[in-house]
Amino acid sequence: MRLINLTPHVISIYNREGTEVLLELPAYPKQVRCKMTTDIIGYSQIDHNGKVVPIDNTLTHFDDVINLPDPKPGIIFIVSKLVAEKMKGKRDDLRIANGTMRNESKTIIGCRSLGII
């Protein structure tokens, strides 16, 4: 079994205890994502500390998945949670980074497992 990281970030996979990096998977050069469309559905007048500003209210739709390779025997693709959710029930070769590891500044630095949506 081979893992391919289709996210725009390097993924470090740690052991269960989170003490050792087992694998580092490079970021994928072609962004795999969901096509996004945004519609303006109105606006709000916001009074923030005495300054009144109009701010658009929008509705965002996540549509088709873009740049997702076809399934390949022996390959597991790591994708974003959004991509995995859009493909739920259509593919069994997709995983997400799960059991995230964070550094002192709370930035995600890796994961301990791969999740199925």
Query: What's the pTM value of the predicted model, to 2 decimals?
Result: 0.82
Q: Where are the alpha helices (DSSP H) in the chain?
A: 81-86
Place of tokens 């259509």: 90
For the cut 90, the answer to whether the pLDDT of residue 109 exceeds it is no
**Per-residue model confidence as pLDDT tens digits over 71-108:** 999 999 999 999 999 999 999 999 999 999 988 998 88
Taking alpha carbons only, the member of 97, 100, 101 closest to residue 116 is: 97
- Per-domain residue ranges of the chain: 2-32+67-115, 35-64
* Residues whose CB is less than 8 angstroms from the CB of residue 110 and which lie 6 or more positions away in sequence, other chains included: 11, 12, 13, 14, 21, 97, 100, 101
**Per-residue model confidence as pLDDT tens digits over 33-61:** 999 999 999 999 999 999 999 999 999 99
Structure token digits, residue 53: 């500003």
